[in-house]
Structure formats: structure tokens, C-alpha cells
Structure 1
Amino acid sequence: MKTSPTPENVRAALREIERRGKENSIDPGAVARDLVGSDPDAWGKLMKPLRAVFLQMARDGEVELLRKGKPVAPEDLHGVYRLRVVELRSRT
């Protein structure tokens, strides 16, 4: 695994994805691929731990979780979702 899904690494990946293009929302799989590469086995295994990081980031107000294009509370998230970056805090 190239990089683990720590909040700091996820923030860096989100910044990089935002830098490459101005999309309204980001596919969580794109973040996983940015962290570990394009091998489906590698990024697929990362999706569950990455979801936990996204949920915490949503609770902290750094990202919005979107379902069918509409914001959803972290506790109500299920199924397919996307992310919208709100604020990426750098914590030390």
C-alpha cells in the first residue's frame, strides 16, 4: 500500500484532486486511487477505512457527504456517495 488513509493523507489527496479539476463533487474511489494507485485490489481494500475517515471529516465540517447530489448527515449515509470539499484544515 502506497499510503494509508490518515486524515492528513486524505486531505492531501483531496487537495490534489481539486487542483486537477473543478468538479462539484469527488468520487471517493478517486481519493483511494490517488492514495494507493489504480490497482483495483489495492484501492478497493481501502474504501472501507477511507469511508470512516470521510465520516469523521464530515462531522468536523471539512467535507459534505452527498447522496443523489444532496447533502446527507454522516449518521444517515448509506450506499453510493460523493464528497464535496467544504474546508480542509491542516492540523499539526
Structure 2
Amino acid sequence: MSIDMEAVILDHLGKLAPGKSASSEEVARAADNENWRRLTGHVRSTARGLARQGKIVVLRHGKPADPEAFKGVYRLRLPTTEEQAAGPAPIAPAED
């Protein structure tokens, strides 16, 4: 079974209230509730690509994180209207 993780991420985040975020576990469970653990790496790599394109925002400690350098626990959300209007925002440095 092949999973279109990009579609899963965007669909799951699209169902959330504006400004709300989801964990990688929530997204992986949305893709495959029984075998979600093996999908977390796929969620992370796909999220990086979507964040580079400006389609989603990767959050660390509630703040936008550099999609190339984030480590540890993270959350995902769609960009806010203000973020879309302002264009690419400065990214906070990665924290361990």
C-alpha cells in the first residue's frame, strides 16, 4: 500500500480550526491507525518539503522552525492568513 503522505498531511491539517496544529503522531495515525509508528519518518520528511514550499508551518515550542534544521518533538499547522500575506517569515533557529 502506497500512502500519499502529502495529501494526508494537508487533509488532516485542513480539518483543524484555523491556527491549530497537529502532532506527527496524529498525522501518521490519520494515514494508518494500526501501523502509524513506521510512518513517522515519512511524515517528517514530507513535512519538510511542504514547509519549504510554504504550504505548512513546522512548529517547535509553538514557534515556526527552520524546516531544514528542526529536531525533536514538533507540530504542524497550515500558515495563518497573516503569514500568507507577509510571505516567508524569519525562522527561529533550531533548538535541541
Fold equivalence (TM over 0.5): yes
- Percent identity over the alignment is 31
Distance in 1 between residues matched to 2:10 and 2:66, nearest whole Å: 20
1:14 maps onto 2:16 in alignment? no
Aligned-pair CA distance for 1:57: 0.5
**Root mean square deviation, CA, Å:** 2.1
Aligned to 2:22: 26
The letter of the residue matching 2:48 is L
Aligned-pair CA distance for 1:51: 0.7
Aligned to 1:81: 74
After TM superposition, the structure 1 = structure 2 runs for residues 1-92 of structure 1, keeping only pairs within 5 Å, are 4-16=3-15, 18=16, 21=17, 24-37=20-33, 39=34, 42-86=35-79
**Gap runs ≥5 in structure 1:** 88-92
Q: How many residues align?
A: 80
Distance in 2 between residues matched to 1:70 and 1:33, nearest whole Å: 24
* TM-score where L is the length of structure 2: 0.71
Aligned to 1:90: none
* TM-score where L is the length of structure 1: 0.73
Distance in 1 between residues matched to 2:4 and 2:25, nearest whole Å: 12
Structure 1 or 2: more helix by fraction? 1
Farther-moved stretch of structure 1 (43-52 vs 78-87): 78-87
Cα deviation 1:13-64 (Å, max 9, x = unaligned): 3223x1xx56622111111111111x3xx10000001111100000000111
